[in-house]
Structure 1
Amino acid sequence: MPGQRGVPRARAGNVPHRTYSVRARRKRSATTVRNNRNRFVVGRIVLTLVLVAAGLKLVHIQAFEASALSERAERQRTTIIDIPAERGSIVDRNGAELAFSVETRKLWVNLRQMRQAWDEYAREHPESGENFDTRADEIAGYIASRVPDLVTKKELLDAFHKDASFTYLIEVEPSVAEEISKRYHEIGYEKRAKRVYPGGELAANVVGYANWRTESEDVSEHNLHGLSGLEYYRDEDLVGTPGRQIVDTEQGTDVVIPGTERDMRPAAPGSDLELTIDSDVQYELERSLADYVDKVDAKGGSAVILDAKTGEVYALANNKTFDPNDPAALSTEAMGNPAVSTPFEPGSVAKVITATAAIESGIVTPETKLAVPGAMKVADHTVHDAWSHGTQDFTVTGIFAKSSNVGTLLLAEKIGPDRFMDVVDRFGIGHRTNIGLPGESAGYVPPREQWSGTTFGNLPIGQGLSMTVVQMASMYQAIANGGVRVEPRIVKAKIAPNGRRIPEPAPAATRVTDAKTADTVKEMLCATTQDGDYYYNGTAPDAALEGYRIAGKTGTGQQVNPKTGAYSNRLHNITFAGILPADEPRFVVGIWLDAPDTTIPGGGSAASLFHEIASYLAQRYNIPVSDQSAPRVRLVY
Structure 2
Amino acid sequence: MRLEGALYPWRFRLVLLLLALMVGAIVWRIVDLQIIDRDFLQAHGDARSVRHIPIPAHRGLVTDRNGEPLAVSTPVTTLWANGRELQAAKAQWSGLAVALGQEPKTFAERLQANAEREFMYLVRGLTPEQGQRVLDLKVPGVYAIEEFRRFYPAGEVTAHVVGFTDIDDRGREGMELAFDEWLAGVPGKRQVLKDRRGRLIKDVQVAQNAKAGKALALSIDLRLQYLAHRELRNALVEFGAKAGSLVMIDVKTGEVLAMVNQPTYNPNNRRSLQPAAMRNRAMIDVFEPGSTVKPFSMSAALESGRWKPTDTVDVYPGSMRIGKYTIRDVSRSNGPLDLAGILIKSSNVGMSKIAFDIGGESIYALMQQVGLGQDTGLGFPGERIGNLPNHRNWRQAETATLSYGYGLSVTAVQLVHAYSVLANDGRNVPLSLTRVDQAPDGVQVMPADIAETMQGMLQQVIEAPGGAHRAMVPGYHVAGKSGTARKATVGAKGYTENAYRALFAGFGPMSDPRIAVAVVIDEPSKGGYYGGLISAPVFGKVMAGALRLMNIVPDNLPPVESQELAVNTGTGGRI
TM over 0.5, shorter chain: yes
Larger Rg: 1
Q: Is the Cα contact below 8 Å between 2:158 and 2:260 reproduced in 1?
A: yes
Match of 1:544 among 472, 481, 490: 472
**Distance verdict in 2 for CA 1:378–1:271, change over 3 Å:** same
Give the Cα–Cα distance (whole angstroms) in 2 for the partners of residues 563 and 59 of structure 1: 81
Instruction: Tell me the equivalent position of 1:462.
Output: 405
- Aligned-pair identity in percent equals 30
Instruction: Give 1:134-213 correspondences, 5 Å limit.
Output: 134-144=91-101, 156-157=107-108, 159-162=110-113, 165-166=116-117, 167-171=120-124, 172-174=126-128, 176-177=130-131, 180-181=134-135, 183-213=138-168
Aligned residues: 552
- Give the counterpart of 1:52 among 15, 21, 24: 24
Q: Secondary structure at the match of 1:348?
A: helix
Residue 573 of structure 2 aligns with which residue? none
State whether structure 2 residue 320 is matched by structure 1 residue 376. Answer: yes
* 1:193-238: CA deviation from partner (whole Å, max 9, x where unpaired): 211111221210010010234xxxxxxxxxx111111111111111
Q: Judging changes above 3 Å, is the alpha-carbon distance between structure 1 residues 383 and 180 closer, same or farther for their aligned structure 2 residues?
A: same
Post-superposition Cα deviations, 1:8-42, rounded to whole Å, max 9, x if no partner, equal xxxxxxxxxxxxxxxxxxxx7xx679959969978
Amino acid at match of 2:461: T
Conservation of the 8 A alpha-carbon contact between 1:248 and 1:261: no
1:67 maps onto 2:39 in alignment: yes
State the alpha-carbon separation in 1 of the partners of residues 31 and 205 from structure 2: 34
Question: Which runs of no fewer than 5 residues in structure 2 stay unpaired?
Answer: 559-575
Secondary structure in structure 2 of the residue aligned to 1:523: helix
Contact 1:201 1:322 in 2 (8 A): yes
Match for residue 458 of structure 2?
525
Contact 1:301–1:318 (Cα < 8 Å) also in 2: yes
Alignment check: 8 A CA contact 2:93 2:104 kept? no
Which of 46, 63, 79 is equivalent to 2:51? Answer: 79
Alignment of 1:614-625 (within 5 A): 614-625=543-554
**Distance in 2 of aligned mates of 1:447 and 1:296:** 36
Shift of 1:401: 1.7
Matched residue SS, 1:285:
helix
Distance (Å, rounded) in 2 between the aligned partners of 1:175 and 1:37: 83
- The aligned residue for residue 260 of structure 1 is 204
User: Match of 2:460, as an amino acid?
Assistant: A
Q: Determine if contact 1:376/1:384 at 8 Å carries over to the other structure.
A: yes
Does 2:287 align with 1:344?
yes
CA offsets, 1:250-270, max 9 Å, x none?
x2233334542331x222221
Q: Hey, what does 1:228 align to over in structure 2? A: 173
Query: How far apart, in 2, do the equivalents of 1:91 and 1:112 lie?
Result: 45
Which segment is superposed worse, 515-524 or 579-588? Answer: 579-588
Residue 331 of structure 2 aligns with which residue?
387
Q: 1:596/1:141 Cα in 2 relative to 1: closer, same or farther (>3 Å)?
A: closer
Q: Is the 8 A contact 2:359 2:399 kept in 1?
A: no
Shift of 1:450: 7.9
Match of residue 512, structure 1, among 445, 453, 466:
445
In structure 2, C-alpha distance between the alignment counterparts of 1:563 and 1:297, rounded to whole Å = 25
Preserved CA contact (<8 Å) 1:426 1:511: no
Bigger mean CA offset, 177-186 vs 521-530: 177-186
**Alpha carbons 1:366, 1:395 under 8 Å: kept:** yes
Residues 508-563 of structure 1: CA distance to partner in whole angstroms, max 9, x if unpaired? 833220111111100111111125xxxx322x111111221111101011222448
TM-superposed deviation, 1:307: 0.6
For residues 371 and 174 of structure 1, do their structure 2 counterparts lie closer, same or farther at Cα, with a shift above 3 Å needed? same
Report how far residue 628 of structure 1 moved: 6.9
Provide the C-alpha distance between the structure 1 equivalents of 2:497 and 2:94, rounded to a whole number of angstroms.
65
Measured against aligned partners, the alpha-carbon deviations of 1:352-381 in whole angstroms (never above 9, x if no partner) come to: 111211222222222222222211222321
Residue 288 of structure 1 deviates from its aligned partner by 1.0
Match of 2:249 in 1: 306
Q: Are residues 48 and 112 of structure 1, via their aligned partners in 2, closer, same or farther at CA, if it must alter by over 3 Å?
A: closer
1:596 corresponds to 2:551: no
Distance 1:628-1:448 versus aligned 2 partners, 3 A rule: farther
Aligned residue runs from structure 1 range 311-460, under 5 A? 311-373=254-316, 374-390=318-334, 392-449=335-392, 453-460=396-403
What's the CA shift string for 1:454-502, capped at 9, x where partnerless? 1112010011111111111111100110101212211127xxxxxxxxx
Matches for 1:259-278 after TM superposition, within 5 Å? 259-263=203-207, 265-278=208-221
Are 1:426 and 1:512, in contact at CA under 8 Å, matched by a contact in 2?
yes
Contact 2:528 2:534 in 1 (8 A): no
CA distance in 2, matches of 1:564, 1:68: 72
Q: Which residue of 1 aligns with 2:563?
A: none
Partner of 2:481: 553
Q: Which runs of 5+ in 1 are unaligned?
A: 1-27, 119-131, 145-150, 214-223, 494-502, 630-637
Contact 1:436-1:490 at 8 Å conserved across structures:
no
Q: Deviations along 1:291-347, whole A, 9 cap, x unmatched?
A: 101211122110101112111111001111111111312332111111011110111
SS in 2 for 1:382: strand
Paired with 1:466 and 1:41, the residues of 2 have a C-alpha distance of: 102
Report the AA paired with residue 169 of structure 1.
Answer: L
Q: TM-score, normalised by structure 1?
A: 0.80
Change (3 A) 1:552 1:174: same
Q: How far apart, in 2, do the equivalents of 1:317 and 1:549 lie?
A: 25
Residue pair 2:55, 2:187 contacting (<8 A) in 1 also: yes
The separation in 2 between residues aligned to 1:80 and 1:491, in whole angstroms, is 37
User: How many angstroms apart in 2 are the aligned matches of 1:291 and 1:55?
Assistant: 88
**Distance of 2:105 and 2:66 partners within structure 1:** 45
Q: Give, in angstroms, the shift of residue 627 of structure 1.
A: 5.6
How far, CA to CA, are the matches of 2:3 and 2:133 in structure 1?
78
- Of 234, 239, 247, the residue aligned with 2:184 is 239
Aligned-pair distance for 1:440?
Answer: 1.2
- Matched residue type, 1:524: M
